[in-house]
Amino acid sequence: MNVLAFFAHPDDETMMAGGALTMLARQGFQVHYFSATRGEGGEVGEPPLCTFEELGVVREDELMCAIRTLNGSSLTFLGYVDPRVGPDNTLYPFEADLTTLAGQIAASIRQHEATAIFSHGSNGEYGHPAHILMHQAVSLAIASLGEQAPLFYSANAVYPEHPRQRLLNQDDPAHIVLDIDPVREQKVQAALCHKTQNAMFMRNAAQEAGHPVSIADVILPTESFHRVFPPLAGGQQPEDVIARALLQ
């Protein structure tokens, strides 16, 4: 069975869903990764590991390293360009026609005969417009496929006990809260692959914790997911093939 992971930038796949996707790969699912951009607009590391002009190529290599670590089956870049962060850390979406992007996603779903999709949540986690765009495109692709549509789970779903509420999609209640302890070290190693972004991961987490942290400290022991499609009634729990594989 094939699972497709659609994310906006390199590192999103690891930080948001790396544990779950690794667990699925361990159980025999073929996990195929898609990144809309090469993360050209991100940070270059502290101290700098490359120039901004080189960043896209470097982050492509970092993503390949992470996906090997997560036991992924393939990687595809969708060909969009990540814009640089603006003044006061203003975030921007990549430039894309929503219908065209959704068409790319739908074509990939059909090609792989996907059982399930993982992607961003409806609020873009911490409001990132590129994440919101990807969620909208995946949702449109799912709608276009009708009865042939696969399951769609979004990451960083909200639940009260999560220690970093600002990172969660407040409109997406968690249907799965997953203990990733069996694969947590793999997720840590995948995060370390994203070397240019490690300083940012630790800086953001340290601000919340009030003290310096390591990459291992950044990786929480749980991940949470909301089943977008098919939708669930209030209080209903998922009993699909993904939920059974992750929660058995």
Q: Each residue of 4-34: pLDDT tens digit?
A: 999 999 999 999 999 999 999 999 999 999 9
Q: What is the mean pLDDT of residues 208-235?
A: 93
User: Could you tell me the CA-to-CA distances from 71 to 21, 64, 66, 67, 175 in Å, in that order?
Assistant: 9, 11, 9, 6, 25
- HSE-up of 165 (CA within 13 Å, CB side)? 5
Query: Is 90 exceeded by the pLDDT of residue 175?
Result: yes
pLDDT-derived band at 242 (thresholds 50, 70, 90) equals very high
**Domains of the chain: total:** 1
State the pTM of this model: 0.96
Q: CB 195: neighbour CB atoms within 10 A?
A: 16
How high is the mean pLDDT of the chain?
Answer: 96
Range of the domain at 167: 2-247
Helices and strands per DSSP (H, E), number in the chain? 9, 9
Query: Is 90 exceeded by the pLDDT of residue 229?
Result: yes
Distance CA 122, CA 62 (A): 26
User: Could you tell me the CA-to-CA distances from 2 to 74, 109, 178 in Å, in that order?
Assistant: 11, 9, 20
Contacts of 83 (CB under 8 A, 6+ apart): 41, 92, 93, 94, 95
Q: What is the mean pLDDT of residues 182-190?
A: 98
Give me the percent of the chain exceeding a pLDDT of 70.
100
Element (H, E) at 55: helix 55-69
87, two tokens? 């003044």
Backbone angles phi, psi at 103, to 5 degrees: -65, -40
Q: What's 186's domain CATH number? A: 3.40.50.10320
Q: What angle do CA 88, 90, 92 make, to 5 degrees?
A: 165
Report pLDDT digits (tens) over 114-171. Answer: 999 999 999 999 999 999 999 999 999 999 999 899 999 999 999 999 999 999 999 9
Q: What is the mean pLDDT of residues 220-241?
A: 94
Cα dihedral 14, 104, 39, 190, rounded to 10, equals 20
pLDDT of amino acid 234: 78
> Which residue, 141, 8, 137, is CA-closest to 78?
8
